[in-house]
Amino acid sequence: MPLALAEFNSAPAAELRPTLTACLAVPRWVDTVLEGRPYADFAALSKSADSATPLRRNEIRDAIAAHPRIGERPTSNGSDADWSRSEQSGVDNADEFAAANAEYEERFGHVFLVCASGRSGEELLANLRSRLGNDPETELDVAGAELAKIAHLRLAKAVTA
């Protein structure tokens, strides 16, 4: 259930930490968001979240591990799994993704990460294929930017104005 901003501002940090971690599994980002409370409005909350980006490369690697492959549905339960299912609802070409994901993971050593919300499976597959041309450091930076986009979408689902 989403929290009203007033509830978010007054809830104990320990109660909010799992929700924020489901938005972005980066402890520094979670701490920044928690430490910025209380927020006058969602824009202030969003600005605080932005202040913890760009993410560091080690943070990106750790956070990627919390995400399922595009085209695969999460098998766990919880907000992050529910959000992943919703975000990937446009992916209808899972078989094509299996081969492309394998090639991507072989090249970069981690799952392909993209903000999938509102995008078609064809668009996501084209994005994956185009990113195969990146060098590993550039690709990690691109994945970090995608993680930040996902975090914003999830934060808006977790906290209402």
Mean pLDDT for the stretch of residues 83-96: 57
First-to-final CA distance of the chain: 14
Residues 36, 45: Cα–Cα separation, whole Å: 8
Residues 153, 114: Cα–Cα separation, whole Å: 12
Q: Is 67 a catalytic residue?
A: yes
Instruction: Give this prediction's pTM.
Output: 0.84
Query: Which pLDDT value is given to residue 67?
Result: 82
Position 33 confidence tier, pLDDT thresholds 50, 70, 90: very high
Q: Under a CB-based contact definition with an 8 Å cutoff, are residues 157 and 46 in contact? A: no
Query: Which pLDDT value is given to residue 84?
Result: 52
Position 89 confidence tier, pLDDT thresholds 50, 70, 90: very low
Helices and strands per DSSP (H, E), number in the chain: 9, 2
Q: Which of 67, 69, 131, 154 is catalytic?
A: 67
Position 9 confidence tier, pLDDT thresholds 50, 70, 90: very high
